Amino acid sequence: MEIPAHYRGREQALIKHQLLETYLYKLFMIVGQHQPTISYVDCFAGPWQVASDDMSDTSIGRSLSTMKNCLESLRDMGHNVRFRALFIEKDVTAYHRLRGYLDSLDTPVETESFHGEFYNVRHKILDWCGPAGFTFFFVDPLGWKGIVEVPTLEPFLQRPNSEFLINFMFEFILRAHDIRKHEKDMIAIFGQVPQTDDMTPDQKESYLVNLYRANLKRVQPLRGGKPRSVTVPIQRPGKNRTLYHLVYLTRHPLGIVKFMEASEPLDFVQKAVRIQAKHDKKIETTGQCELFGALENVKIEQGNVPISVVKEYWLRQLTSQPQLFGIDKLADMLEETGWFESNFQEAFHELQREGKAKNLDDAEKSKRRKKFVHFDANRNCGERLAKVIR
């Protein structure tokens, strides 16, 4: 895969847009089968750093084309779903460009835009959403102040039937989190002043992100399902360092499963971006163009979490008494570890082959190729798994 020209130099936006598009498609196709109206709110719309004429490299263009595709596919399946989209932008030039684009569009999606500061128009946004219809909020700012703090987002977090994708500007927050003058802001973000002395960079990252996720969930209402969240780290192009985290928040276990499914190929793209950047640098310094494309090399680099670690995790979950492993349990496992379903499938298969675990509902007795546990079987209640004690 070559990185599209429009995204060169801002590959992190490509990864963000791919995730947004892939996940929105899966989400709307599920939600659209039982909800008459779907609303989408892009709270920091842009356009920003746009290189295409048709907005195909912006969240505006990509979300609208996804909604149109879903609306048409759902209609073919006999579901007439009303799609509504709201875009907020504070910069006057960007706002006029946004408005002009929306006015020029011929789309079955109902569109609206507000010009203003997100903080000031929060209640207007909520009025537009209405009290109960399904709404997806995309929060993609340039900074954090007056935006990602939990009290700022609280009126949205308390809304029922809502999902969120929040760009948590990790690089900025990491720099600010232990500076005394930001203490109040940190309490608003994390619910406490984070203590990260003596932590390694990796420990700091997971501690801070987990603290933020927990604080977001804390203010969600008790009714409406258990609050759940996962996060996808997006790296600075060409560097092995996190630029931001895309924090996803839902009340549905299936949302977690589908979101992680949408994220998995991005891991591959991030590695491709890293290799492409190294490759570009080499051309710059040596003047030599290498013959391979970015992705050919990725296959060699693949493999995140060691399978032995996932197997150990499985053995801690399994008991000698068979237990059902369904979507709910899978969502718990994905949330807790941040791994992908494929990691769990592969590790379970290996435990089965080693005679350390069994699937009592695997009628094909491991003729399966990729999915060794059908978490979605039996109406998402799953299959009976057990540890083999010898």
Ligand X SMILES: C[S@@+](CC[C@H](N)C(=O)[O-])C[C@H]1O[C@@H](n2cnc3c(N)ncnc32)[C@H](O)[C@@H]1O
Note the residues at the interface with ligand X (CB under 6 A). 13, 16, 44-46, 48, 58-59, 88-91, 94, 117-118, 140-142
Closer residue to ligand X (CB): 14 or 29: 14
User: Shortest approach of ligand X to residue 40 CB, angstroms?
Assistant: 12
Q: What is the Rg, in whole angstroms, of the alpha carbon atoms belonging to the chain?
A: 22
User: Shortest approach of ligand X to residue 96 CB, angstroms?
Assistant: 12
User: Shortest approach of ligand X to residue 272 CB, angstroms?
Assistant: 20
User: Which of 50, 53, 78, 55 shows the shortest CA–CA distance to 65?
Assistant: 55
User: Shortest approach of ligand X to residue 310 CB, angstroms?
Assistant: 33
Closer residue to ligand X (CB): 13 or 102: 13
Closer residue to ligand X (CB): 119 or 301: 119
User: Shortest approach of ligand X to residue 120 CB, angstroms?
Assistant: 8
Contact 16, 140 (CB under 8 A): yes
Closer residue to ligand X (CB): 60 or 254: 60
Contact 385, 374 (CB under 8 A): no
DSSP 23-56: HHHHHHHHHTTT-SEEEEEETT----S--SSSST
User: Which of 181, 184, 195 shows the shortest CA–CA distance to 149?
Assistant: 184
Closer residue to ligand X (CB): 25 or 207: 25
Strands 162-168, 242-250: pairing kind: antiparallel
Contact 82, 38 (CB under 8 A): yes
User: Shortest approach of ligand X to residue 20 CB, angstroms?
Assistant: 7
Contact 88, 44 (CB under 8 A): yes
Torsional class of 330: left (φ above 0), alpha (ψ -120 to 50), beta (otherwise):
alpha
Closer residue to ligand X (CB): 142 or 179: 142
User: Shortest approach of ligand X to residue 81 CB, angstroms?
Assistant: 24
Q: What per-residue string of b and e applies to 22-60 under the rule 16 or more CB within 10 Å gives b?
A: bbbbbbbbebbeebebbbbbbbbbbbbebbeeebebbbb
Closer residue to ligand X (CB): 12 or 297: 12
Neighbours of 364 (CB within 10 A): 8
